[in-house]
Structure 1
Amino acid sequence: MTAPLAGLTVVELGASVAAPAAGQILADLGAEVVKVEKAEGDDARKWGPPFVDGASATFHALNRNKRSVVCDLRDEKQKSALIRFVVEKADVVLQNLRPGQVDALGIGAEELTRKKPSLVYCNMGAFGRSGPLAERPGYDPLMQAFGGVMSVVGEEGRPPVRVGPSIIDVGTALWAVIGILSKLYQRQGGVVDVSLFETAAGWMNMYAAQYLASGELPRKNGSGQAAIVPYRAYRTTDGDLVVAAGNDSLFRKLCGVLGHPQWAGDPRFRTNPDRVAHAEILYSLIEEQMRKRSSADWTRLLDAAGVPCAPVQDVAQMLHHEQMKALGLLQAVHGLSIPLIGLPLSLDGRRPAAGRAAPALGAHTQDIL
């Protein structure tokens, strides 16, 4: 099967997570992605331990299927060679360098799209292309803080916590890919602008709507959800189990499984708004029952009743689960000692192959520049 983006050439002027993640998505879908690095390499190469095959595990997770060139962007000869490659070969440029840096170097969107009008140029900024903070740098945890994400994550009364996965960086990568593919579908060049802050604000869409409708600031709810009850994790005899009784029918079934069908008819719990208003009381009743059995026992009973649930797994449990194996998500990577999680999508029933390991620093400089 021909990869959907075969024949597309992408130049990635990126480091850390956001731009490399976007480049890897395009590469996994068949594009030739040329990663431009400084002489010391992408900082993420050193983000460890753990290290594997000469670079950090994190770097390998974000840079497979690419080619690496070393280019000193302040050296006119090297920069000219890169610009020539973009004009002659590239379809897409994506960059997440410090705000204003590409323009100062003469390799920004305005300059390169003038030289090549068909080029799709994607800026991956921190705070966005305009506004009082447009020139400030940013990173995933800063945007989880500034974008309000940390205000709703964790438990009430406890210090702020960060969502573990880099959801702002990776979310921005996804928006970048969507924007790039949209411009390619239009069959015209142009500029795509995405930013970490806009992504963070986008993740807060439902919370923002709730605040604008009620005037009440969203609170931290641990594993739960403010507007749906019961909908959270419970401690069992041997772990934690998330149960999602997201409507009245599921709540009635849950009450039956717990051995208290009368709760469904209690005026305090009859509808979801009733349950939200009396969440503390209801959760204490459910918690008392959940502590009496193991996660496996509750899963068996809840599955039989049709109530959605899932155990809280660690990384090892997730990777070794039969569902993971059935989907073929964990893929061997040519030239890498460990497998990696592949693209979370399939096309016509087939997942794009993980392909080649991340390139050694500057491995393709002579071939390309």
Structure 2
Amino acid sequence: MLPLEGLKVLDLTRLIPGGYATLILADLGAEVLKIEDMELGDYSRWIEPTIGGNGVYFHALNRNKKSMKLNLKTEEGKEIFKELVEKGYDTIVEGFRPGVMDRLGIGYNALRNINPKVIYCAISGFGQDGPKKHKALHDLNCLGVTGVLSITGEASPAIPGIQIADTSSALFSVISILTAYVARGKTNQGQFIDVSMTDGLISLLSIHLIKYIVDSTMPVGGKMDFNGKFPCYRVYETKDERYMTLAALEKKFWENFCIAIGRRDLIDKQYDDSMKTGKELENIFKSKTRIEWEEISENIDSCLEPVLNFKEVTKHPHLKSRNLFFDIDNQNLKVPQVRFPFLMSDVNNTPRNPAPLWGEHTDEILISIGYDEKEIESLKKRGVIG
């Protein structure tokens, strides 16, 4: 038995924030039902390349879920949604702008009147209140307005390689949903959860923002304690134009590194932010290839690791030994997947069901809550379901 078996989730989201959150819940045993519109559905389905009718982005975020096509613009569609909530799908995850679900008549207050146990998680860019609550924004905008981009890159702001606001808001959503789930076990009541992507980034920035509030020193990309100021914590180019990461913050790690390269004279330069010392380290790293530096790394305890590309990552023996990569069978095709990001001693066999086709489970779900085939066919003809 998986730990979240019995938890039933209605997922009205698209793309990363809600998709990644409900993926983790589904991997741990929750029944996640995607409620998709009739026109496009979750549009990550259609982003190339595709495997078996779904885009690879969609496959990455939607294994172990079900899909229902439901027209929430119709009164009958709204009634079906309410019926799902009444009959046990009592955890809602949505990513609309504040007020959209209320205008449809299926917001938190309306659903709570139907089922007091409803846990309702609303993910948005700026949160449910404040002067900018209705503004549209994506991950990059969040990175901009929270100051993350102002300290990322050197000559100009650099776009990070992953969607930090999207993925962190997904994880905060999981934490808050499970917290509400535990609380519900004590109170028998659900609650509303307001997950703001910008709030999440401000939280992640707390050590930097609090330092600024205290000393009024404006941080600059490439010149902060943990993004390039000190020679012991930098990315260095190698002789073959590859890169190594050195993160020898502790004295013992820096000493081990200096001794290994035969430069004991640098031991006292760990936190010397002068251009001279920085240039000296750059020249040292450019004297060897990345492979040579990796060989040195294997023989010392010094927080020295290479910058790998995706081909190297997917073939890395340690990462493979952790079973991070696996395949799901889908219509006689192999769909590559990445497992959920932690291991638990009593969770051994997580489900491996392929991402659903658009509306694949509509009939199944309606039958489970009491509709017969004639009623279902009638709903389809009237454009209520698909």
Common fold: TM-score over 0.5: yes
Superposed, which structure 2 residues align to 1:231-250 within 5 Å?
Answer: 231-238=233-240, 239-250=242-253
Code of the residue aligned with 1:104 in structure 2: it is R
- Which residue of the other structure, out of 167, 172, 178, is the alignment partner of 1:170? 167
Which one of the candidate residues 304, 307, 330 is aligned to 2:302? Answer: 307
Give how far 1:303 is off. 3.5
The C-alpha deviation readout for 1:128-180, integer Å capped at 9, x for no partner, is: 121101122221111111111111112x223x222121121111011111001
More displaced, 344-353 or 58-67? 344-353
CA contact (8 A) 1:34 1:68 kept: yes
Cα deviation code 1:218-244 (max 9, x no counterpart): 111299625654111111123111111
Aligned residues: 357
C-alpha distance in 2 between matches for 1:355 and 1:222: 45
Aligned match of 1:230 in 217, 229, 232? 232
| 2:334 counterpart residue number | 337
Structure 2 unpaired stretches of 5+: 367-386
SS in 2 for 1:69: strand
SS in 2 for 1:192: strand
Aligned to 2:379: none
- Post-superposition Cα deviations, 1:35-67, rounded to whole Å, max 9, x if no partner, equal 0001121121123x2222212111111111100
SS in structure 1 at match of 2:144: helix
Quick one: distance in 2 between partners of 1:196 and 1:67? 26
Percent of pairs identical after alignment? 29
CA-CA distance at 1:213 after TM superposition = 2.8
1:357 is paired with a residue of what secondary structure? coil
Partner of 1:66: 65
Cα distance in 2, alignment partners of residues 190 and 287 from structure 1: 54
Query: CA 1:200–1:228 in structure 2 vs 1: closer, same or farther (change >3 Å)?
Result: same
Over 6 Å off, 4+ runs:
none
Gap regions ≥5 residues in structure 1: none
Residues 303 and 212 of structure 1: CA distance in aligned 2, closer, same or farther (over 3 Å): farther
Aligned residues: CA RMSD = 1.9
Q: Which residue of 2 aligns with 1:296?
A: 291
**Letter in structure 1 aligned against 2:78:** K
CA pair 58-41 structure 1, distance change in 2 beyond 3 A: same
Alignment of 1:68-217 (within 5 A): 68-154=67-153, 156-158=154-156, 160-186=157-183, 187=185, 188-217=189-218
Q: Measure, in 2, the Cα distance between the counterparts of 1:99 and 1:222.
A: 38
Tell me, in whole angstroms, the C-alpha distance in 2 between the residues paired with 1:146 and 1:211.
16
| Counterpart selection for 1:253 from 234, 252, 256 | 256
C-alpha separation between the residues in 1 aligned to 2:18 and 2:354?
Answer: 17
Could you tell me how far apart the structure 1 residues matched to 2:227 and 2:16 are? 29
